[in-house]
Amino acid sequence: MSENKIAYGGQAVIEGVMFGGRYAQVTAIRRKNGEIECFEIEKNEIAWLKPLKHLPFIRGLVSLIESSALGAKHMQYASEKYDLDHLDPEELEETEEEPKSGSKWEMIVSITLIGILSFLIGKVIFTALPAYLASILFDRFTQNLIVQNLIEGAIKTFLLLGYLWAVSQTPLVKRVFQYHGAEHKVISAFEHGENLTVENVQKYSTLHYRCGSSFLVFTIIIGVIVYSFFSYDNVWERIGIRILLIPVVIGLSYEWLRFTNSLRHLPVLKYLGYPGLWLQKLTTKEPTDDQVEVAIKAFERMREMDALLEKQKTPASPLKPPVNSPIH
């Protein structure tokens, strides 16, 4: 069971859920006509990245960049289907008649780059803006580096919570957060050995220790600690140091997330992961039965593909002779 807990992860997309396994990623979406449609991608391991995924403090950054790139492809698919479902019949007919320009490879590369750049730009903004505001508004009142960093962390937390609350008020993002909750419920039900039915899955919480929302909280907490070892003379030096330390903070936060997840069943140490669970109260919502059905479909199809691809990738074992037969 512990192997299953490490192997599978997912995220919500527009009107659907994406799950990633060892060998495949599958997105299931609910079309406007009520049908559930799947989009499947086989994971192609990049040779030079493989050893980096096993290096502590490096694997976190590699995993995040890779997941951003792959997630962008699935988000693009879900967005396109969503747009098609909301076009008028005449617009839909015109869209189908338009020739597609560019190769499939060019499209995949462009989407991948957009996903990676979006992640990096967002990370820089949420790192630089709190540092700038803290310097301009509060540094005049205290010269204590730890206090300054705590204020910066508080501003970052306020901006993050405010942003998540604001976007969660829109109907579309609210549905995305419902699918996020459905994804967590399915993983929890699977980890507890349940048959994946809507009724069984709905019994579980929308909160989960391995969620990316937990990771966001840890980057703020660990950032406050890491920044305390570096002094600065002005606001621009402060921002520069923060940006240079982004890989360090990401690496440490990822390891802390893995560590707290491994301790979540211990009576006292499980509370180390609670800050991340609290944030998930903003990023997840209770899903409907229809949304849970979509999440189950994505998860089960991902497991089917993983099993099939594992069989293809694993060389057949040579036949062993009977125990009492001589070996030639």
Q: Which of 164, 157, 277 is nearest to 221 (CA)?
A: 157
Domain that holds residue 137: 2-88+108-310
- Number of domain units in the chain: 1
Any domain includes 221 = yes
Could you say which residues of the chain have pLDDT below 70? 1-14, 45-46, 68-79, 81-121, 269, 315-328
Any domain includes 98 = no
Any domain includes 101 = no
Any domain includes 233 = yes
Any domain includes 100 = no
Any domain includes 319 = no
Any domain includes 238 = yes
What's the pTM? 0.76
Tell me the longest C-alpha to C-alpha distance in the chain.
86
How many whole angstroms separate alpha carbon 239 and alpha carbon 148?
Answer: 13
Any domain includes 116 = yes
Residue 15's φ and ψ, nearest 5 degrees, are: 55, 30
Residue 257: predicted pLDDT: 82
Residue 328: predicted pLDDT: 34
Residue 21: predicted pLDDT: 85
